[in-house]
Structure 1
Amino acid sequence: GSSKRSYAARLQDQDAEPRATKKPCGASRKTSKAKPAAPTTTSPKGDTQSLTAKNRREKISERLRTLQELVPNGTKVDMVTMLEKAVSYVKFLQLQVKVLATDEFWPAQGGTAPEISQVKEALDAILSSQREQLD
């Protein structure tokens, strides 16, 4: 009798073993997100992705340098400020085109040129809008 345990005791032992080796709730999810050790060889997919990302960053930097050259006071500022200045400058140029495209500035054959005060008023409006946008 003493070498044979009861059926209930054997079941308890079987149930206790797996519980002792189980991970706490959520542990498997946490470990699955853990980064694996650095691989000894790099995968071709990883190389392609990093090369693509590097090329993209280089193109963005190159275009930003070009934009800095084109926009007044565009050098030595962060990217967000640079983009804000570029947007402001493009709006300023659009306003200039709009003002200069009005018929009053280009008299028809035999027509009269606009009054100097009209020209000055239009140019002042352009300049003041540019000053507001740069500040």
Structure 2
Amino acid sequence: MHIGKKLAATVALVGTVFVGGVVAAGPAGASSSDMGLGLSTGHNVGAYADYNRINNADKVAPDLIYNANRNLTDGVEVDCWSDRGATLDRGNRWYHTKTEYYNHLGYSLHVYAWTYAPYVDGEAGIRAGLQYCNY
């Protein structure tokens, strides 16, 4: 019986250490600068692999949809912005996007992409202090 108690205590301790390691690793991997942004400019938004190759063949996820009438506008989670991408009709500022929220369809995707900041939110995330990517 004494060996059984030691074994149970050891298993409990190992489980605690493992859980403690997982909990400690979670916050270390998260960026404090990530920002969730809903589409707010009336534009649909493409998600591109390369912010300098803007065509349908370069899309890595379905278009994000702005839908003011049904309150189901899509959104993105971004971690930084860049001004090194293609210049479109409103400049060259792009969001490095980590997650695409397809609220109109009820799901999200975790695909790294670039989204055109002026079409996402008029660059509000940049003005709110989102960090610069430096790439």
Greater fraction of residues in strand: 2
For the pair shown, the structure with the greater C-alpha radius of gyration is 1
With CA pairs under 8 Å and 6+ residues apart, which has the higher RCO, 1 or 2?
2
Quick check: TM above 0.5? no
Greater fraction of residues in helix: 1
